[in-house]
Structure 1
C-alpha cells in the first residue's frame, strides 16, 4: 500500500490535543488533494513554501515554513512573528538563532542516545553532524532571484511590498530555498463538537478561515480507531465522506472522526489543516419521535402554489445550561441531553427532515445561528437572518429556501425599545404610559418581532410577509403579552401597507404568515386578537396584574387570521407547565391549509417524564403545516 506524507500545520486550541503534524493518506485518497498538498506544491515549483501572513492594520507578520533537511536530520515546522517595522537583517538573525538552537538540541539528544549504547559500526553508518561554536553553517537570508543577490537592510514592511509586487523573493534556510507566498488561504481555527452521535449530522463546531472562501474550499471526513497505545498518529484513517457536514453512519460507532479542510479561493490553494474528534462516535438515542413525523415530510413540496412552514422554539443554551435548569427547571432530563453539543444534533436533524420552505425559530443562540444553523441550512439551499432580543444572547431566526423564494427585505425591532419612537405605536402607547409600573415593565422587556418579505420565484406576482416573534413568559403577564401582540400587529400592518404601496402589490397575491412562541393559550386575548380581529376592554388578560392593570383599552387588527395547526393540547410540555402556546397564524383570505404534520402523542412526551429529553431537544415541539395560495391565477 502506497502512502504519501503530506505536511500540514498543527492546529492550536484543539480540544483533543492530538493533531498530528503529518497525515497519512492512502493512494486512493490522493486525487482530491492533488492540487493542494504541500507535496505537490513543492514539486510544482521545485522548492518549499514559506507562508507569510499579515492581517490588515496589524503590525505583525507571521511566518511559517516546514524545514526538512536530511543533512541536519531535521523535520520541523517553524513559526515566527516579526514586527513590520523591524529591519529584515534583524529578522533573519532571529530566525537563524532559533533554527541553530533547534539543531543543537537535536544534536545533543542524538549524542546522549548514542553514549554507551551505539556500536562503532552504527556510529559510522549514521553520523551526527558536528555543530561547532561557530554559526557560519546556519544561514537564513532573503534572496532576489531576478537580481541574483541577497535582499538586505530594509524594513520588513518594504520586503512585504516587494513580495506583493515582484513575487521573486526567496527565503533561503540552510540548503533549502523557500518560495514566499503572502496571505495564502489558511485555517485560523478549527474544532469538532464534544458529542458525535451515529445517525446525526456532524460538522465543525468552529471553523474560521482567513484569506479563503468557504464555498470554494474542500472538506473531507475520515474515521479510524484509536490504537491501544492511545497514539493518534498511529490511527489508520479511512475516508468516509466529502463536504462540510457528514451524516454519521452506525458503522462509525467506536471510531474517532477526522475533519480535513483545504482552504481555497477561486485562484489560490492554501495549506491543508485537520482536527481529530476528542471523543469516539457514540450510538444515537434510538428512534426519536420527530423521525416518525418525518414520514409525513419525506420530500419537498412540488406544487408551486404550496409551501411548508415550520415554527419551533429550540430552547436556547443560555436557558438550558445552568445549575437551575439542570436541577430544578429540567431536573428530569439527564445532564448530557441538556448539553448543546448533544441537543443541536437532534434539532438540526429534526429541522432538516421536515423539508420545509420557510422556518421560523425562537430562542436561537447567536453562536448557534452563526456556527450551526446557517452553515448547515445553507447546504440545503436556505438563507436566513437573525434578530437579537434586545441585549440578550438569543433571538429570532427566519430561514427560507432560496430556490423557492427571493428575499426583498428583512427587518426587526425590540418592542420595548421602540414604544416612544415608532410613530405607529404612539396611539396605543399614549393610552398606557400614564400607568408608570406598567410602562416601566413593558419598556424593560426584550421581546422582539422580525419579518422577511419574500417573493415567490415560480410566481413572482405572489409575495409573503413572514413574521416571527417570542412574547414574554411570566405567569402574571397576560396583559403584557396582549399589549406586545397589539404593538406587533401595528408594526406588521405598517410594513404590509408600506410594501403594498411601494411595490404596488395586489392584496389577492400578498399574504402574511405570523409564527412564534406567543406564550398565550387559546383562551387568552392574543388568540382572540388574531382570529377575531378585536379584543375589548373587558378581556380578563388586562387584569392579570392588579398594579399594572390596563383599563379602557381595546385592540384591533385588519387581517383575517387562522391557526394553521389549530389548538393542539400541547406545544410546550415540562413538569411544571403543559399547554398550547406556539402558533402558525396565516392570512386565510389568500392562503389555506393543505396539511398538518401530526404532533407527538402525550405518551411520547411522557417517556422521560417531560421534555426536553434524550429524544426531544427542546421543551417545545415543532409545528409543521403546508399552506397553499387560494388564488392560483
Structure 2
C-alpha cells in the first residue's frame, strides 16, 4: 500500500478526501473540488510540516524541519500547471504526485469495508453471511476459516456465504472480507465469529413446510412459481412499541436481521421461486447483502423505496434463466389514482377527512414486466405494501382500487406496444395488503359492491358505489378468501393480510403450498421465533399459462 494516494469522492459531493503516508506519517485531509493545484499543494505542505503528536500526550515530538517539493505529474512525468482545477487532475488515475523524490500513484475511490459483523448465533446447516457496510462498492469476496486445532484455523470456503456442516457445531470461525469493484481491490478485513457455530434449530412449523416444498418441487409441470413475503424490516422491529407490544415474547437475539437472514436464505432456496416479491426490504440490506446472495443463485432483482422518509421498500427477484426483464418502475398511489375516472369521482364526493388520509399517504407500488423465455409469453407483476394504520380500511380500499386500475391500464398498453396475441399476458397483483378477509379492500377484490355510506360514514346521503370493474373480474385470489387461518401473527393478534391475485383468464394456479396451522406456530410463541424469520408467512403458488 506504500506510495499511493487514495482519493475518495462521492458522485454528488463538492469535496474529496485525500489519504497517504509519507516518511511514516499518515496524512489525511479534504479539499474542495473547485481548488486549484496550487491551493492543494499549499495545504499538503502544511499537513506534512505539522509536527507529529506523541500518543497519549499533548506535547509534540521535536523533529527536524523538512522542506517539501511537491507537484502533480502527468503520465509522461511532466509537471502540471498549478492553475489547473484540482478535480480534473486528481480524478484522472494516469496522473501522479511527487513529494521530494517519492512518486505516488493516484487510486480513486478504492473499495473499503466501513463495518462488518456476524451473528453471535450463526447456526450450522444454515446459510451464514456477514453484515457489511462498504464504500465505493457492493461487491466482496469472503474466505471462511474454521478452527481445526486450538488457535489453528483452516480455510473451508471462498464464497460470500457459507453453509457450515453440522459437524462444525461448537467450532470457532472467522471470515476475511475483501471488497472490490472492477479491477480495484480494497484492503481485506478479518472478523472473528463472536461465538462458535451454534446447533441448528430443531423441527419447527417452517421446517415441516420446507420439507413439503422440497418433496413437491419438480413434481409438477408448471410455468413458474411465485412467492410473496413480507420479511420484516429491522427499522420496524427496534421501536419501543414493537418491542413491548408486538414482539415481547420473542428472544432479543432473534430479532436482528443479522440472525433472521440465515433462516430467510434457507427459505428462499427451498421455495425455489421463479418470481419472488418481497416487502419491508431495507435499502442497505438489499444492496449490500440480499442482492449479492440472490445473484449468486441465479436471480436478478429490481428495488424501489416506499418514499424518501423511509428506509425500506419492495423488491422483485426473478430467475434469469426463466425470465427476461422488459420493463420496471415505481408509481405513487396518491398520484396514479387520478388516472381512474371512478376513483377521481369518488374522491370528489367523499369526505374531506378520507380524501386527506388517502392523498397524504406516500404509499407506492412497484411493477415489472417479465418475458417468459420458454413460451414467449409475458407476466406483469405489481408488488406493494399498503398502509398499515388500523383505522385506514377505506384508505387501503382506495389504494387497492388504484393498483387494480393500474393492472387494467397497463395490460391494455402492453398488448398494444408488444403486439401480443390474446392470452399472451398474465397479471399478478400481490403483497402485504394489510387487509383481512372481511376488509373493504378484500371484499372489493372479491367483486362485492361497496356503498360510499359504508366506506365513509361522513358522506351520508351521497349516492355512490365502488366495485371492481368487470374487465378486472378475472383477478382471482391464489388462496380462497377463508382458506387460511393467518399470514401475520404478533403478540395477541393474527390475521390474513397478504394476498396473491392472478389473472384467471390467462393463468391457472395449479398448486398452493399449505400454510402452517395457527396452533403449531403459537406453540413457538408466535412470530417471529427462533426458526421463523418474520411476523408474516410467505405465500407460495405455482402457475401455468392456459
TM-score by length of 2: 0.82
**1:318/1:393 contact within 8 Å kept:** yes
CA deviation map 1:59-81 (0-9, x unaligned): 555232486xxxxxxxx673433
In the TM superposition, 1:223-262 aligns within 5 A as 223=146, 236-250=152-166, 251=168, 253=170, 255-262=172-179
Matched with 2:420 is: 505
Match of 2:454 among 539, 543, 546: 543
Aligned-partner Cα distance in 2 for 1:312–1:208 = 27
Q: Cα offset for 1:440?
A: 1.7
Q: Cα offset for 1:401?
A: 1.5
Matched with 2:330 is: 412
**1:592/1:629 contact within 8 Å kept:** yes
RMSD: 4.0
Q: Does 1:397 align with 2:315?
A: yes
Aligned-partner Cα distance in 1 for 2:315–2:187 = 33
In the TM superposition, 1:471-490 aligns within 5 A as 471-490=386-405
**1:405/1:456 contact within 8 Å kept:** yes
Match of 2:478 among 530, 544, 564: 564
Residue range with higher mean Cα deviation, 427-436 or 615-624 = 427-436
Aligned-partner Cα distance in 2 for 1:570–1:162 = 58
Q: 1:279 to 1:141 in 2, by over 3 A?
A: farther
Q: Does 1:627 align with 2:543?
A: yes
Q: 1:255 to 1:141 in 2, by over 3 A?
A: farther
Q: Does 1:135 align with 2:135?
A: no
What 5-or-longer segments of structure 1 have no aligned partner? Answer: 1-37, 39-47, 68-75, 109-130, 228-234
Aligned-partner Cα distance in 1 for 2:233–2:179 = 32
Matched with 2:29 is: 81
Residue range with higher mean Cα deviation, 569-578 or 509-518 = 569-578
Matched with 1:72 is: none
Q: Does 1:579 align with 2:527?
A: no
Q: Does 1:289 align with 2:208?
A: no
Matched with 2:18 is: 62
**2:73/2:79 contact within 8 Å kept:** no
Match of 1:612 among 528, 531, 546: 528
In the TM superposition, 1:77-116 aligns within 5 A as 78-81=26-29, 83=31, 84-86=37-39, 88=41, 91-92=44-45, 94-95=47-48
CA radius of gyration, larger in: 1
CA deviation map 1:227-248 (0-9, x unaligned): 9xxxxxxx65432321322334
Aligned-partner Cα distance in 1 for 2:42–2:358 = 65
Residue range with higher mean Cα deviation, 141-150 or 463-472 = 141-150
In the TM superposition, 1:490-501 aligns within 5 A as 490-501=405-416
Q: Does 1:381 align with 2:307?
A: no
Residue range with higher mean Cα deviation, 569-578 or 287-296 = 287-296
Aligned-partner Cα distance in 2 for 1:148–1:395 = 50
Q: 1:85 to 1:456 in 2, by over 3 A?
A: farther
Aligned-partner Cα distance in 2 for 1:226–1:296 = 39
CA deviation map 1:363-393 (0-9, x unaligned): 2233333333223212222222233334433
Secondary structure at the counterpart of residue 342 of structure 1: helix
Secondary structure at the counterpart of residue 544 of structure 2: strand
**2:119/2:193 contact within 8 Å kept:** yes
Matched with 1:49 is: 3
Matched with 1:553 is: 465
Q: Cα offset for 1:403?
A: 1.8
Matched with 2:34 is: none
Aligned length: 526
Q: Does 1:453 align with 2:407?
A: no
Residue range with higher mean Cα deviation, 296-305 or 572-581 = 296-305
What 5-or-longer segments of structure 2 have no aligned partner? Answer: 32-36
Q: 1:156 to 1:328 in 2, by over 3 A?
A: same
Aligned-partner Cα distance in 2 for 1:331–1:159 = 53
Residue range with higher mean Cα deviation, 142-151 or 349-358 = 142-151
Q: Does 1:361 align with 2:278?
A: yes
Q: 1:623 to 1:375 in 2, by over 3 A?
A: same
Secondary structure at the counterpart of residue 287 of structure 2: helix
Aligned-partner Cα distance in 1 for 2:42–2:464 = 82
Match of 2:129 among 203, 228, 234: 203
Q: Cα offset for 1:311?
A: 0.6
Match of 1:465 among 380, 389, 398: 380
Matched with 2:116 is: 191
CA deviation map 1:454-480 (0-9, x unaligned): 1112222x0001111233344444433
Aligned-partner Cα distance in 2 for 1:379–1:621 = 24
Q: Cα offset for 1:309?
A: 0.6
